Amino acid sequence: MTAVVASRPIVARQSADRAVLRGFLERDRIFAAYAVCDLDEREFGRARWAVAMAGNHLVAVGMEYSGPTPQSMFVLGHNDGIAAILRDVLRPRAAYIAAATPAVPAIARAYRVEPGPQMVRMRVDRATFRPRPAPVERVLPVEVGDLNRLYQLGFAAWLPSGAVAEGVYFGVRVGGRLVAAAGTHVVSREARMGVVGNVMTHTEYRNRGYAKAVTSAVTAELLRYCDDVVLNVRADNPPAIAAYRSLGYEEHCRFEERLIRRTAPVWPSLPGPFRRLFGSRPTSDAVLAYDQAHPLEPLAGTPAEPPDPAAEPGPTAEPGTEPDPAADPDRAEPEPGPGTRPEEP
Asked if residue 220 and residue 247 are part of one domain, the reply reads yes
281 falls within a domain: no
Q: At what angle do helices 210-222 and 238-246 cross, to 10 degrees?
A: 50
Residues 203 and 65 in one domain: no
Does residue 279 sit within a domain? Answer: no
Q: What is the 3-state secondary structure (H, E, C) of the chain?
A: CHHHHHHCCEEEEECCCHHHHHHHHHHHCCCCHHHHHCCCHHHHCCEEEEEEEECCEEEEEEEEECCCCCEEEEEEECHHHHHHHHHHCCCCCEEEEEECHHHHHHHCCCEEECCCCCEEEEEECCCCCCCCCCCCEECCHHHHHHHHHHCCCCCCCCCCHHHHHHCCCEEEEECCEEEEEEEEEEEECCCCEEEEEEEEEEHHHCCCCHHHHHHHHHHHHHCCCCCEEEEEEECCCHHHHHHHHHCCCEEEEEEEEEEEEECCCCCCCCCHHHHHHHCCCCCCHHHCCCCCCCCCCCCCCCCCCCCCCCCCCCCCCCCCEEECCCCCCCCCCCCCCCCCCCCCC
Tell me what pLDDT residue 310 has.
Answer: 41
Residue 141 within a domain: yes
Regarding whether 166 and 310 lie in a shared domain, the answer is yes
Residue 265: pLDDT band by 50, 70, 90 thresholds?
confident
Instruction: Using the Cα atoms of residue 295, residue 151, residue 32 and residue 167 in order, give the sign of their dihedral.
Output: negative
C-alpha neighbours within 13 Å on the C-beta side of residue 238: 0
Q: How confident is the model at residue 325 (pLDDT cuts 50, 70, 90)?
A: very low
CA pair distance 288, 334, nearest whole angstrom: 16
CA 105 vs CA 78, 113, 195: distances in Å: 11, 9, 28
7 pLDDT tier (thresholds 50, 70, 90): low
Say yes or no: 231 and 161 in one domain: yes
Does the residue 332 lie in any domain? no
Number of domains in the chain: 2
pTM for the whole thing? 0.75
At 320 the pLDDT is: 38
Residue with the bigger pLDDT between 175 and 270: it is: 175
Work out the pLDDT band at 158, boundaries 50, 70, 90: confident
Query: Is residue 219 predicted with pLDDT exceeding 70?
Result: yes
Same domain, yes or no: 68 and 10? yes
- pLDDT higher at 191 or 289: 191
Round to whole Å and give the CA distance between 255 and 54. 25
274 vs 135, higher pLDDT = 135
* pLDDT tens track for 70-118: 889 999 999 999 999 999 999 999 999 999 999 999 999 999 999 999 9
Distance from C-alpha of 245 to C-alpha of 222, rounded to nearest angstrom:
17
Is 274 inside a domain boundary?
A: no
101 and 229: one domain?
A: no
- Please, which pLDDT band fits residue 275 given cuts at 50, 70 and 90? very low
pLDDT at 261: 97
Residue 269 lies in a domain: no
Percent of the chain with pLDDT over 70: 73
Mean pLDDT of 119-134: 97
| CATH assignment of the domain containing 85 | 3.40.630.30
Residues 25 and 163 in one domain: no
The answer, yes or no, to whether residue 296 has pLDDT greater than 80, is: no
Residues 191 and 113 in one domain: no
Predicted confidence at residue 305, as pLDDT, reads 40
Angle at 244 between CA 26 and CA 144, to 5 degrees: 85
Does residue 338 sit within a domain?
no
pLDDT for position 267:
56
Check whether residue 127 and residue 116 sit in a common domain: no
Mean pLDDT of the chain: 80
Residues 39 and 185 in one domain: no
Answer with the residue of higher pLDDT: 340 or 23: 23
pLDDT at 67: 79
- Reply yes or no on whether the pLDDT at 332 is more than 70: no
| Closest by CA position to 260, among listed 66, 105, 32 | 105
C-alpha to C-alpha distance for 139 and 136, rounded to whole angstroms: 9
192 plus 314 within the same structural domain: yes
- Domain hosting 138: range is 123-253+305-323
Q: Is the pLDDT of residue 279 over 60?
A: no
- Would 86 be classed as within a structural domain? yes
Q: Which of 235, 262, 289 is the last residue of a domain?
A: 262
Last residue of one domain, picked from the residues 209, 239, 262: 262
**Both 95 and 242 in a single domain?**
no
- Contact call for residues 35 and 62 (beta carbons, < 8 A): no
